[in-house]
Structure 1
């Protein structure tokens, strides 16, 4: 699902992002609730400052979080909780960011398990989330993309959670 957001673009760069687990649901610009095959329900939430996914008792937020120093780990594995997270920051050459974001918008626009928010002012300022509808091995997973055209950055995250 592709949505145009009616809110200012708050994020400034990949270096401003943090990962937070737990905590309250933050005010959202758009929410998409999904029920996966097997009955698991997730909420994909687009924030003015990036994204939040609510899955069962887990709340994952990747955003510019006021009062919290920015820190987006490259990897976080908590085997006891069954949680794995990875993040990568890409800085594509030339028109690479524009090309990647256009492909992402096209690929996910009609995906029933995705949400893409386009911020006003630049079609390349997007936050996108996509859930794997058929989780293997008793897990659920999602990927996110945060595009920062002003700094030519694309942040990719991937999360896998044991059910």
Structure 2
């Protein structure tokens, strides 16, 4: 099932505290999905505690992207944009009103239920407490998007990322 009901409290509860770590040992994900690339190799999408880990296994080695509050220990604060050889991440943080936030959560949950290349984790306490990832091959590499939803009494914060990796 691509949308998992997670029976743990989210470890990351503040989108402003997220960090980025590349090619570092990541924590064990709470839920994963493995996608095969038509040219060889795989990509693993992983939901952490309201954050994510993406791992690319390819003939030349391994690449990983972790966006979480604990990523600061091995990386840096989550940037608006970061470029490295063969890699790019762009991030957006949006403060949403209650209706907009509920609609976004519903769209993302439906995406998980209808698209085979998506993975979602819903955390206890609020149906809009979500982490959602989706990916697809991009030439010899991959591209993926993620959404981290942090509910609040009057709506919530949505942190989204768009990443691309090529060997």
TM-score, length-scaled by structure 2: 0.87
Following TM superposition, where does structure 1 have runs of at least 4 consecutive aligned residues deviating by more than 2 angstroms? 36-40, 66-70
The answer to whether the 8 Å contact 2:35/2:44 transfers is: yes
The structure in which a higher percent of residues are strand is 2
Query: What is the alpha-carbon root mean square deviation over aligned residues?
Result: 1.8
The answer to whether the 8 Å contact 1:15/1:70 transfers is: no
The equivalences for 1:1-80 within 5 A come to 1-56=2-57, 57-65=62-70, 68=73, 71-78=77-84
The answer to whether the 8 Å contact 1:18/1:62 transfers is: yes
Q: 2:150 aligns with which of 141, 148, 151?
A: 148
CA distance in 2, matches of 1:23, 1:49: 19
The structure in which a higher percent of residues are helix is 2
TM-score, length-scaled by structure 1: 0.89
Q: In the TM superposition, what is the alpha-carbon distance from 1:36 to its structure 2 partner?
A: 2.8
* Per-residue CA distance 1:7-47 (angstroms, 9 max, x = gap): 11222211110000011131221121111333330111111
CA distance in 2, matches of 1:38, 1:66: 30
- Structure 2 unaligned residues grouped into runs of 5+: none
Deviates more, 1:6-15 or 1:113-122: 6-15
The answer to whether the 8 Å contact 2:109/2:120 transfers is: yes
Q: In the TM superposition, what is the alpha-carbon distance from 1:131 to its structure 2 partner?
A: 0.2
- Structure 1 unaligned residues grouped into runs of 5+: none
